[in-house]
Amino acid sequence: MRRAFVMIGLMTVVFLATWGGPTLVSATQTCTATCSGGSTLTCTVATGTCSSASGTVTCCGQTHDCVAINAYNACRSNCTTEYNLCRSRCTVRDPCLSDCNDAQHACWTDCGPRPVTSFSC
pLDDT in tens, 54-110: 999 999 999 999 999 999 999 999 999 999 999 999 999 899 999 999 999 999 999
Torsion of CA 10, 14, 15, 20, to 10 degrees: 140
pTM reported for the whole predicted model: 0.74
> d(Cα 120, Cα 47) in Å, to the nearest integer?
10
Nearest partner of 31 among 90, 118, 89, 97, judged by Cα: 118
